Amino acid sequence: MVKKFFLAVFVTVLTTVSAFAAHPLITDDTGTQDKGKFQLEVNGEYAHEDEDGAKAGTTEVAAILSYGVRDNLDIVLGVPFQRLRVKEDGYAVAREVGFSDTSVEVKWRFLEQEMLSLALKPGVTLPIGDDEKGLGSGEVNFSAFFIATWHAEPFSVHANLGYLHNENDVDERTNLWHSSVGIEYAVTEKVKLVGNIGIEQNTDRNINTHPAFIIGGLICALSEHVDIDFGIKGGLNEPEADYATLAGILWRF
């Protein structure tokens, strides 16, 4: 029971990493870096879950580097590091620390009109993490996301529809879908309030209730090149982690 619970909490956090967004949002936007420009994000998340006397905590720090190949085309590299810990009846029964699976994605904004823009974001996940420790799938996987952004000052709304191929050796579902919507409201030129809601198919073949989440947070621009962000993520049903705290910093250069 503990091992299954341990992996379930891990997957809830991991599968959200495939669509890097304007943190703390999980829903991605259509924005790109412009040709020759870089963006580096370092994001942290702590997720907590209680179930049948067991408590699981997952801490993840992810570094995400984006490079503008063209004005409307980015390459995105994501490297997550995780610390996983499970307690049962007050005693630690599982603990793992290490790098998780690394992702390489391409974001292509193929349509840009006055208020609406559309993008595609295919990607591949490489089995860098140790699957025996619950830090990875042990297999090469891929994903594909359709992204839409509607912008009218001071609001921006983002929508994602995604497919994730979850090749694995622990009898989880192989084909997963993702759906989410995010919103940004510019309070000032330097401060944005953000919200996010979404759902993703459960990896457990025997459960038809799919993890759903809600996020509230803010993004603060310290300068033209540096942003910081904070957020709280809540589970809307039992398969999702009870809550998570999020924080990040972004540097454009």
Q: Is the peptide bond before 154 cis (omega within 30 degrees of 0)?
A: yes
- Per-residue pLDDT at 12 exceeds 60: no
- Per-residue pLDDT at 181 exceeds 80: yes
- Per-residue pLDDT at 30 exceeds 50: yes
- Per-residue pLDDT at 153 exceeds 80: yes
Q: Give the pLDDT of residue 143.
A: 97
Quote the percentage of the chain above a pLDDT of 90.
Answer: 72
- Per-residue pLDDT at 94 exceeds 90: no
Q: Give the pLDDT of residue 20.
A: 53
**If residue 221 lies in a helix (H) or strand (E), which one and from where to where?**
strand 212-221
SS (H, E, C) 26-62: CCCCCCCCCCCCEEEEEEEEEEEEEECCEEEEEEEEE
Instruction: Name the CATH superfamily, with its identifier, for domain 2-252.
Output: monomeric porin ompg (2.40.160.40)
Of 6-15, 24-33, 238-247, the poorest mean pLDDT is in 6-15
Mean pLDDT of the region 149-177: 93
Question: Which of the pair, 19 or 74, is modelled with greater confidence?
Answer: 74
**What is the gyration radius of the CA atoms in the chain, in angstroms?**
18
- Per-residue pLDDT at 135 exceeds 70: yes
- Per-residue pLDDT at 67 exceeds 70: yes
Quote the percentage of the chain above a pLDDT of 70.
Answer: 91
Q: Which of 67-76, 87-96, 136-145, 204-213 has the highest mean pLDDT?
A: 67-76
Mean pLDDT of the region 13-42: 82
What's the pLDDT band for 57 if we cut at 50, 70, 90? confident
Mean pLDDT of the region 13-41: 81
DSSP state of 223: S
For CA atoms 12, 102, 226, 224, give the dihedral sign.
negative
Q: What is the mean pLDDT of the chain?
A: 90
- Per-residue pLDDT at 162 exceeds 80: yes
Q: Which residues contact 29 (CB under 8 A, 6 or more apart)?
A: 21, 22, 147, 149, 156, 158, 182
- Per-residue pLDDT at 233 exceeds 50: yes
Of 95-99, 124-128, 146-150, 158-162, the poorest mean pLDDT is in 95-99
